[in-house]
Structures are given as C-alpha cells and as structure tokens.
Amino acid sequence: MKTLVWVEHDGAAVKDATLAAVTAAAKLGEVHLLVAGSGVDGVAKAAAGIAGVGKVHVADNAAFGHNLPENIAPLIVDLMASHDAFVAPATTTGKNIAPRVAALLDVMQISEILSVEGPKTFTRPIYAGNAIATVESSDAKLVLTVRGTAFDKAAATGGSGSVEAVGAGSDAGISSFVGAEIAKQDRPELTSAKIIVSGGRALGSSEKYQEVVVPLADKLNAALGASRAAVDAGYVPNDYQVGQTGKIVAPEVYFAIGISGAIQHLAGMKDSKTIVAINKDEDAPIFQVADFGLVADLFNAVPELTGKI
Amino acid sequence: MKILVPVKRVLDYNVKPRVKADGTGVDLANVKMSMNPFDEIGVEEAIRLKEKGVATEIVAVSVGPAKAQETLRTALAMGADRAILVQTDDDVEPLALAKIFKAIADAEQPGLVILGKQAIDGDNNQTGQMLAALTGWAQGTFASAVAVDGDHVSVTREVDGGLETVKLKLPAIVTTDLRLNEPRYASLPNIMKAKAKPLDTKSPADYGVDTAPRVKTVKVSEPPVRSAGVKVADVDELVAKLKAMGVHS
C-alpha cells in the first residue's frame, strides 16, 4: 500500500505530530510525504530526512501558504490518484483538511486512530475516550487522521527520501487568511512536552496561576496546561486547555494542580506515563488516576515542591 | 439570508457512557439524550445572527430516529423558525450526513450552514468539512467568533497554539467550538410556541442518499483502566519519588 502523509510544518521545521503520523503510515506500507506551502525548500529537505520516507512531494505555491483547505484539498485529491491512503496528524490543521479530502474522494474518513490492527482495521476513541471502537473500512482508499500521543515518533533524521516537485496548484478564490494570534512561549509545546504542569479552578485567579503554577513549570522546563474550568474562568488562554475539547496530551509526567479530575479533563491526559495530583479534596476523582497523590493545600505545597525539586 | 443548522441527538453530556457487555456499542437504552452541545452553540449563533438582522430565517435539520423530533423542538424553542427531520433508525456516517445536508442546501439555498465541530458520541469531526467539500463552499472550522460582512464572513478559528482568522466568501460552512457563545435556555412560553412551528419529516431516500455504512464497527470495548497509585504523606516524599524517576530541575 502506498500512503501519502501530509506534513504539518511552520514554514521552517516539521512539526512533531507529523512524525507520529509517519509511524502509523509505515504500518500500512510505503510512506510518501506531501509538503505544501510557500517557500518550503528547507522543510522539504528536512522531511526527506525522516527515517523510512520514500518520496517527498513538494507543492510550493503562495496558495498553499496558510493551509487553506479550499486550496490544499484539490492538490491532495490529485496526488491520491497514485496513493492508497491519505494520512494526516489529528491536529487542528490536519482535522481541517482531511475530511475535505475524504469527501472529495467519496471515502469515509477514520478519525484519530490509536492503532493499526490490519490493512483496513483500526482502533479509535469514541465518547471522549470512554469507549474504544475497532473499525474496518470498506472504501477503496483510506483517509486517516492519527492521534499523535498513540504512536511513537519516527526518527527525524537518518532517512533518504527523494524530493519531487508537484503541479502548480491554484487559489480557489473563496477563502483567504487574515491573521493569527499564536502565543509565543519559551517553553515546550503542550502536545509534545515531556513534563506538563496544569492548573485548575482551585487556583482561584489568573494571578495565583502565575504565582503558583508557572514557577514549578519554569523549574522543570515544563509546558503549561489547564483544566476547562480554569480556562472558562479566564485564568489562562484557551489554548492551555487539556481535555476532551482541548488538547490530548501524554507526557512523561503530568502535574494536576488543584484539578478535580472531571471526565472531560481525564479524557485529555489519562495516557500520561506518570500523573501527579495535588488537591486538598481527598475525594477528588483525580486521585483515582494519579500515580502519586498529595492531599494538601496547593498554595503551600506547590511552592514548597518548587523549592525542593 | 437563510441559515441551516444541523443538530444531532446524542447521549447527554453529563451521562457516563457504558459499553454494552456484548461489545456492540454504547448502551443508549433508558438514558438521557440531548442535543449535541456543539450543535446547541450552532443554533445559538444562528439566533444571534438573526437578532442582529443578518439572518432572516433559521432552519434546523436533524438526521435520526423519530425521537430526534425532540431535539428539533429544542432548536425551535431556542429560536429556530422551522425544522426538517430526515428520519432513519440507521446510524448515519458523516459522509452520508454531508450528502443529505448538501441536498438540503441545494433546495434551501442558505447563506451559512453552522454545524457543531463534532458530535460527542462518534467524535468524528468530519461532517462540516465534508459538506464544504461537496458544496464547494469555503469552511471556517472550530469557530470562536463569526462576523458576517456583506458577501463575506470572517471566522476566528481555535487552532493549536492560538487563534487564526480567515475570510470566507458566502455561502460558507462554519463549525463551532466551545467558546463561540453560551447557548440560551428555552423559556417555557417559547417551548409551548415551538410546538406549533413547522416540522417536516423526510427520509434519506427523499434526498437520494444511500446511508449504508462504509465503516464496519468490529467491536466496542472499555478503554484500559488506569489504577490509582499511592498517596504521599508530604512534599518531601513526593520530591523523593519524583527524583527517583529522574524528575528534577
């Protein structure tokens, strides 16, 4: 089977989520990549170096500059004439593009796969991860999105793919990019961090989040996260949210600070290797999943931890 | 401008799903069902656009069993003007849903279709994008703000790492994210009034759509259970445990 993996990048580097998608695609067969964007020579070279990659299709065109699905989906549909499966990371951009491709191919997409069980059989979470479905496609071609935390990342170097330019592409003329507000942080990205420190509503304010959670994250070079309650209360921006409706994470260590552990939050972090919970309510559901639980007032315990770690 | 708002009847947000013992799915017998929360946000957004004078009519659509009428009546009570139930007892996949909504869009000629970004049962996150593909319209997914300006709509999207704004030519497809708005509750008088609003019943065959599934569910199982670990007595013990794992500054 020949697969085509859409490479997510920021114009300069390949994003980690792509590497997990490559691992999933490699279980199906030959891995080809698509690098689409504007001025993406460097990204294409980096992509060709990913271990196990065959051909890298490069579509360099201003119309592909901001990942507008109206422009990119037709390009992918053309390439799918010579591929059997389209694979994208289940990031917000991958999720925006893949179903548009699937419908144009008249294929039912399989979203957020967790494992490859056979050439057309996969597992995927439903009901916010409260159930796992094993599903089998009957379509001639496959369109998949891949949950990044469920697959190991392919090695970013060591490969020797060949780079090939593909057709010009065009602007469909129905959508345009206006602008973005992407938070710039001097810390690891939430979805690829080894350690995450998350705060919940028990913090009580944005100031306390800064005062209590941030120093611990600084000390451990960790990413910052939050529960939906903390986001809704305005303590932190929405892109901090870990959970069913936010980011799905699986770091080595996840610190849940003042987070009660609602189902929707657990759905986003329960695959973390080690979970540390600090909460003064000893009946908080978070302790049912925590490897190390500390029942204590977070306003005392967390600064003490930051000091001693 | 007319707005089409698809809504789905799903297991209520607050009910813990239970996998059936025979592994065929999640048990939906005798449990509370409600409108998919993301769809509720879609209905609310359509109503706000009508209140602003941008929209003139809101048509709610649901594909599902006879009981999905209740979900449509909720949309009507919130403020939708009329409803279409495409009745079927089959579990209709996103691709077939998109085909049904495409046929309805052809007939109704809406300026906007506002859908939830995903239903909280199947978690597919596909139908809106697929409808955009089939209609050839632009798509603004995971919207946290929607502003119609003449023959365009600006959609602010929640993306990894922050927000992004795109400008789309109308007609267009919008899918909602959580922070777009807070849906209103229907008042009792409006619930009463909704009973008199028009609700048409159709079938997938009326739109020439085959709903036979393309993806077979082999089995549904419980996720691996994570067991509770240990409670530590104090910060010192926690620090020791973490250091033993190699976690330190």
Predicted confidence (pLDDT) at residue A280 exceeds the cutoff of 80? yes
Q: Is ipTM over 0.90? A: yes
Both structure tokens of B202: 């159709």
> Tell me, what's the pLDDT at A248?
85
pLDDT reading at A4 higher than 80:
yes
Q: What is the pLDDT of residue B222?
A: 92
Q: At A132, phi and psi to the nearest 5?
A: -115, 125
Residues in chain A closer than 8 A to B126 (CB atoms): 99, 102, 109, 111
Q: What is the pLDDT of residue A75?
A: 97
Q: A298 pLDDT exceeds 90?
A: yes
- Judged by CB atoms closer than 8 Å, whether chains meet at B132 and A100 is answered as yes
Average pLDDT, chain A: 94
Where residue B41 falls among pLDDT bands split at 50, 70, 90?
A: very high
CB-CB neighbors (< 8 A) of B234 in chain A: 294, 296
Of A107, A135, A293, the CB nearest to B216: A135
Kindly state the average pLDDT of the residues A162-181. 93
pLDDT at B247 over 90: no
pLDDT in tens, B78-87: 999 999 999 9
State yes or no: pLDDT of B39 exceeds 80: yes
Q: Is A152 on the interface with B (CB under 8 A)?
A: no
| pLDDT digits 0-9 by tens, B146-187 | 999 999 999 999 998 789 999 999 999 999 998 899 999 999
Q: Which pLDDT score is estimated for A189?
A: 82
Residue A114 has a pLDDT of: 96
Contact of B15 with A130, CB cutoff 8 Å? no
pLDDT in tens, A206-231: 999 999 999 999 999 999 999 999 99
Q: Please compute the mean of the pLDDT values over residues A263-284 and round it to a whole number.
A: 92
What would the pLDDT profile of A114-153 be if each residue is shown by its tens digit?
Answer: 999 999 999 999 998 889 999 999 999 999 999 988 999 9
Q: Does B161 touch chain A (CB under 8 A)?
A: yes
Examine the pLDDT at A168 and tell me if it is beyond 80.
no
Q: What is the DSSP string of chain A?
A: -EEEEEPPB-SSSB-HHHHHHHHHHHTTSEEEEEEEESS-HHHHHHHHTSTTEEEEEEEE-GGGTT--HHHHHHHHHHHGGG-SEEEEESSHHHHHHHHHHHHHTT---EEEE-EEEETTEEEEEEGGGTEEEEEEE-SSSEEEEE-GGGSPPPPSSS--PEEEE-------SSEEEEEEEE---SS--GGG-SEEEEE-GGG-SHHHIIIIIHHHHHHHTPEEEE-HHHHHTTSS-GGGBBSTTSB----SEEEEES----HHHHHHHTT-SEEEEEES-TT-GGGGT-SEEEES-HHHHHHHHHHH-
pLDDT band at A199 (very low <50, low <70, confident <90, very high): very high
Residue A57: which pLDDT band, with cuts at 50, 70 and 90? very high
Helices B37-51 and B68-78 cross at an angle (nearest 10°) of 30
Contacts of A127 in chain B (CB under 8 A): 11, 17, 26, 120-121, 123
Residues from chain B contacting residue A107 (CB–CB below 8 Å): 95, 214
pLDDT for A135: 98
The pairing of strands B9-11 and B57-64 is unpaired
What per-residue confidence (pLDDT) applies to A30? 97
Whole-angstrom Cα distance, residue B45 to residue A201?
27
Average pLDDT over every residue of A42-66: 96
Position A291 scores a pLDDT of 96
Band (pLDDT 50/70/90 cuts) for residue A104 is very high
Q: Is the pLDDT score of A51 beyond 80?
A: yes
Q: What's the gap in Å between the CA of A166 and the closest CA on chain B?
A: 22
**What's the pLDDT band for A271 if we cut at 50, 70, 90?**
confident
For residue A224, what are the β-bridge partners?
A: A197
Side chain identity at residue B107, one-letter code: A
Q: How confident is the model at residue B224 (pLDDT cuts 50, 70, 90)?
A: confident
* Cis peptide preceding B183, ω within 30 of 0: no
| Residue numbers of B between 209 and 238 with CB closer than 8 Å to A | 213-223, 226, 228-232, 234-236, 238
**Distance separating alpha carbons of residues A115 and A30, to the nearest angstrom:** 17
Higher pLDDT residue, A57 or B248? A57
- Give the other-Cβ count within 10 Å of B33's Cβ: 18
The mean pLDDT of A64-70, rounded to a whole number, is 96
**pLDDT (0 to 100) of residue A187:** 84
The fraction of chain A above a pLDDT of 70, given in percent, is 99
Measured CA to CA, the distance from residue B177 to residue B171 in angstroms comes to 20
> Is A262 in the B-facing interface, judged by CB distances under 8 Å?
no
